């Protein structure tokens, strides 16, 4: 079970975007996620008349390792760790600080 999922609000813990908050838009693989507005780079693209795209310099969000982000707890307004609570066959994600369930 992934502790950070698509659609979660997260805060960046380290790097040049430290302290920024964003939404997870995609999971690239088991360890990397793409966060909206975080880890942006300038990419030079060629024009492609077959696809109808123009060339130029675009801003692109690059993947960030999930160890460098933490889930945002709206109740406290801070970053928080995620725990897994098991009730029978059902697994739910909970905040470590308060123990309340994370709304997906």
Pick the CATH number of 9-79 from 3.10.580.10, 3.30.160.110, 3.40.50.300, 2.30.30.30: 2.30.30.30
CA distances from 69 to 51, 52, 64, 93, 101 (A): 35, 36, 8, 16, 19
> For residues 70 and 77, is the Cβ–Cβ distance under 8 A?
no
- State percent of the chain over pLDDT 90: 92
Q: Where are the domains of the chain?
A: 9-79
- The reported pLDDT for the residue numbered 10 is 97
* Global confidence as pTM: 0.84
**What token pair was written down for 16?**
């040049």
């Amino acid at each position: 079970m992934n502790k950070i999922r698509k659609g979660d609000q997260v805060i960046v813990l380290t790097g040049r975007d430290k302290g920024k908050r964003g939404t997870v838009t995609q999971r690239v693989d088991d360890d990397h996620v793409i966060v909206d507005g975080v880890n942006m780079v300038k990419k030079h693209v060629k024009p492609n008349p077959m696809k109808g795209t123009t060339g130029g310099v675009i801003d692109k969000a690059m993947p960030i390792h999930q160890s460098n982000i933490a889930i945002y707890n709206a109740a406290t307004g801070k970053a928080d760790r995620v725990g897994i609570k098991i009730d029978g066959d059902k697994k739910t994600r909970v905040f470590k600080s308060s123990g309340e369930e994370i709304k997906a």
